[in-house]
Chain A
Amino acid sequence: MIKHLFPLFSLICCLLASPVLAQQRFTVSGTVRDAASGETLIGATVKLTGTATSAMSTNAYGFYSLSGIAGEYVLSVTYTGYELYTKKITLNASQKADLALSPAGTTLQEIRISAADRKDQNVRTPQMGIDKLNMAELDNLPVLFGEKDVLKTIQLLPGVKSGGEGTTGFFVRGGAADQNLILLDEATVYNSSHLLGFFSTFNADAIKDVSLYKGGMPAQYGGRLSSVLDVKMQDGNNQQFGAEGGIGLIASRVKAEGPIVKNRGSFMVSARRTYIDLLLKASPDSSISGNTLNFYDLNAKLNYRFNDKNTLYASGYFGQDNIGIRDLFANDWGNTTATVRLNHVFNSRLFSNTSFIFNKYRYAIELLDEDNNARITSLIRDYNIKEDLQFYSNHHTVRFGLQATHHRISPSEITASEGSIFNPLKIESRYGMEVAGYASDEWALSEKLSLLYGVRVSAFSLLGPGTIRTFDQQGNETAANNYKSGDVVKSYVYPEPRFSASYILNERSSLKASYNRNTQNIHVLTNASTSSPTDQYVMSSNNIKPGIADQAAIGYFRNAKDNSFEFSVETYYKWLKNQIDYRDGAELIGNGDVESELLYGVGRAYGLEFYAKKTAGKLTGWISYTLSKTERKFDDINRGQYFPSRQDRTHDVSLVGMYNTGKRWTFSANYIYNTGNAVTFPAGKYDLDGLTTYYYTERNANRMPYTSRLDVSATLKAKETKKLRSSWSFGLYNALNRKNPYAIQFRDKENDPTRTEAVQISLFGIIPSVTWNFKF
């Protein structure tokens, strides 16, 4: 590992050393916050204008550091939804400047921000393939059941495809659903869905910032092939106490926040619960009231600033789903995450963050029948230590760090009572250690050219104890070896180069290019196209090689009308290696030899993404269009020929519009259209003792019908009083009541059994919703 990183470090050191010697430079550094709540602002653009101009975005903790030669400067900060901040400074010594931005008012006058302060980061930064969600927009967008949801909103972005009607599962640039790294305050969230995918585990009230990386992956992230969804919780208001929440048709939420010590520390607690089953409970029919169908989750965060140099953050998430049918079946599942972080500012140029992270996902299935009773439990758990450092120098931002993660996967444990038909069974847990080191440099080479380059070296080891079996290509056991605790069964080391560059063509437009490699050591085995609570996780092993993805992308970015319009076109090509599928009839649950059921292949994905966004004025919104293809190839599937992945959809269009009347009403609508999933339809049929059985030829050679849907919503702000601000949201999901395909089944015709028919199953027709949101 060190061997791999050393040349890069020395290169960076050389680059950093030379310009520093030239002339005495001074640094201004500090934290950018919301003036009203004290929340740090992530990704705000800070500019130092004077004899020379330098600019940067604040980091994940609102920190910035800029330097220049002695002189008079204007320090300015811009951030969407906030007033422009400017301050004159004299740079004759390194200094600290914490900056507080005031939220922009909601009247139109204030929305019309002057040209100079609008963001042009999308054009300037070498980072490409990134999308940020504006959490304020989320309040207005129409969603299923009126429950605002970050995972459903990112599905409206180019290159991101929905896992299916109403679900929070998503696919990025042709990758599989398990190839997205989903982080909540740096902790991995393995199962990001509630209630079989109709809701995400992210309670939008508690979320401050959502960034999705589709390509040009920064070196500080790793472990998944396709994307990183980095979700950060709010810190909580450190100025005053407040409470807010919402009451909806099927779920309600409440949040409380406030200072622990004013200006120094704050807390935030947010909870959410569905109450479908409370309605069931009210039913006089005992067989209905005995059923359960609910989820709840809890987000909590504390932060405390000891002094200018040290800040501590502690945050956690706990969520659980319960579904059950009385006397028959119960299934519960949930994620738990906990993160403790210490920010330390070594000096005005060196920022450090140390994280201790715990996360787990578990599920339990209980069969409650007296003869067939059993309880099946499964767990995946990580301990993670991370050290991230950022060094800011003239024209350079250097990031480097180390990360170590210990994984445990306990696939299945079955317990049963005496007299049950089931035998107790415990499948051996598997342990793994992932260690990664990275270094990257964001370098403004000239006024026009910026580079972001680096490398991440990831090492994975499957560890004992356990009996490890080796399988040949046909799935036959060829060896079985016993390992003691801590023994290394198999190790993989991969350097992952990361590179992006931007070239500014003129004030308004730029060209960008990127290449990156990612590897993946935690894999999900699933029969369904979207995540299911009983997904099985496996690690790379002697049988399973780490997944590898190489992605190259180029893009053209252009802003117009004083940056109030943003356009981009990106095209990408992705090579995927060591992809996993499984044999027909594979038994994935409770199978200690599940690795014998797996097939390994390759994949490729390519596409073209168009994105146009209007960020200012009464009408805002975006249009995204993706033209893409994603295919896989396995020796034992489809006669070794490439076939389309299930999520291969040629065309994918999203239109999102929000109209703010400037008075009390805001109207919004979104429209989606996409080509149907690639599916396998029968080419022929035959008879097995009266059972019409289907004959299949090509894998995924057919198409589901297309999906199109219009959702609308309207938000009415109630009259504000000193104490209470409230609003009503009315929504119509699938306003045109179109029957979109969910699944296609084939069956003999009811009135003519000599014929076969295809039946389309649709899930949601038009669904109205109403939510009352309040804030004290």
Chain B
Amino acid sequence: MKTLTQYILAVVAVVPFLSSCEKVIDVKIDTSPGQVVIQGNITNVAGPQSVKISRSVSYTDKNEFPPVSGATVTVTDDAGHAWTFTETQPGIYTYASLKGDPGHAYTLKAVFNNTTYTAVSTMPEVIPVDSLSLKTLTFGDEKSKQVQVHFKDPAGKPNYYRYVMKINNKLAKAVFAENDRFTDGNDITSLLFYNGEDGDVKLRNGDVVEIEMQSVDKNVFDYWFTLSQQAQNGPGGGVTPGNPPSNINNQALGYFSAHTKEVKTITVK
């Protein structure tokens, strides 16, 4: 559904902005004490799996996010396995070699400051990527090249996807999340609409674009989908922003995602 919404929003957003202008302003903003942020990923690709724990900072501070050290981090599955993660860098807890199995539920437990944070995520089945392709979109006299992902959606049940885009090894600041509400069981072409950061850096010939397709569970989809909606701006500022619904308890920010993934690259030409 991501694609459809983005088509519409792209057009609706373009029209009024034809004559718009931008300026940086000072805004009065409250500060907030640092909140716990947990970002945990378990994938089906064998190798190190990691959980990152940090704190948020006030809006006016530098983008330096204090790591949370000294936590006890364990992951268990519904088959009785348990893995204890060790802190390899400040705030980064890893397990050197762990391969998640689709269909299993994983539970994250992180304990520090006498608080236990837990989250459960179920790894969906593997959905292979067929290929990537390029598509040229034309908005007026402006042409832009976009990447499309091709795959076959399994029929008869809901599936949720998240994509991570890297351009020349640099993470694109865009959130892509979609489900198969309108496309169940079909050969899917997903256009990952990327108009550059702040609209001026687009895909150029020669750019190497890496797409990681993740098959995620519903809670994790809700997290990313909510985040992606807030990134868009409509009249008066678009959707009223809020914190995306986290699957971690005790008011922690972030998410715990057990997902399958596949990475493919394409060169823009």
Contacts and interface: CB of A to CB of B under 8 A. Distances in A.
Contacts of A757: 24
Q: Majority SS of interface residues in chain B?
A: mixed
Interface stretch (B61-69, B79-87, B104-112, B119-127): B61-69
B34 to A, nearest CB: 7
Nearest to A763: B20
A705 B27 CA distance: 8
Given A585-B222, A695-B32, A758-B25, A686 B236 contact: no
A423 B183 contact: yes
B247 interface: no
A762 B23 contact: yes
Interface string A654-684: 0000000000000000000000010111111
Interface string B218-250: 000010011101000111111111111100000
Interface of A is mostly: loop
Given A414-B182, A739-B21, A758-B24, A695 B56 contact: yes
A687 B32 contact: no
Interface string A693-718: 11111111111110000000000000
A529 B23 contact: no
A136 B117 CA distance: 67
B189 A372 contact: yes
B253 A744 contact: no
Interface residues of B, number: 83
B108 to A, nearest CB: 16
A762 B182 contact: no
Contacts of A103: none
A423 B186 contact: yes
Contact of B63 (A365, A369, A754): A754
Contacts of A761: 17, 20-22, 233
Nearest to B226: A585
B206 interface: no
Contacts of B148: 371
A739 B23 contact: yes
B171 A690 contact: yes
A765 interface: yes
A750 B196 CA distance: 13
A372 B37 CA distance: 37
Contact of B32 (A697, A747, A755, A758): A697
Interface stretch (A16-24, A25-33, A327-335, A622-630): A327-335
B171 A689 contact: yes
A326 B19 CA distance: 21
Interface in A389-429: 414, 420-423, 425
Contacts of B173: 690-692, 748
A169 to B, nearest CB: 9
Contacts of A371: 148, 189
Contacts of A93: none
Contact of B141 (A287, A374, A686): A287
B15 A323 contact: yes
Contacts of A591: 181
Contact of B226 (A331, A414, A423, A584): A584
Interface string A287-329: 1100101000000000000000000000000000001011111
Interface stretch (B6-14, B93-101, B260-268): B6-14
Contacts of B168: none
Given A646-B240, A743-B233, A325 B65 contact: no
A423 B16 contact: no
A688 B254 CA distance: 8
Given A327-B138, A700-B240, A760-B23, A425 B182 contact: yes
Interface in A254-287: 285, 287
Contacts of B116: none
B241 A329 contact: no
User: Which among A163, A288, A414, A753 has the greatest number of chain B C-beta atoms within 10 A?
Assistant: A288
Contact of A532 (B12, B19, B20, B26): B12
Contacts of B55: 686
A421 B37 contact: no
A21 to B, nearest CB: 61
Contact of B175 (A167, A691, A753): A691
Contacts of B197: 747
B58 interface: yes
Interface string B16-45: 110111111111111110110101000000
Interface in A478-499: none
A683 B32 contact: yes
B189 A421 contact: yes
Given A530-B236, A683-B31, A695 B16 contact: no
A646 to B, nearest CB: 7
Given A287-B140, A684-B59, A365 B8 contact: yes
Residue among B57, B143, B235, B239 having the largest count of chain A Cβ atoms under 10 Å: B235
Nearest to B171: A690
A764 B235 CA distance: 13
12 contacts: A196-B12, A285-B141, A423-B185, A585-B225, A679-B240, A681-B27, A686-B57, A688-B254, A693-B227, A754-B62, A760-B25, A764-B19
Given A529-B235, A585-B229, 4 more contacts: A167-B235, A423-B183, A679-B236, A757-B24
Give the 6 A-B CB pairs with smallest separation, nearest first.
A585-B226, A529-B236, A686-B56, A683-B32, A371-B189, A684-B56
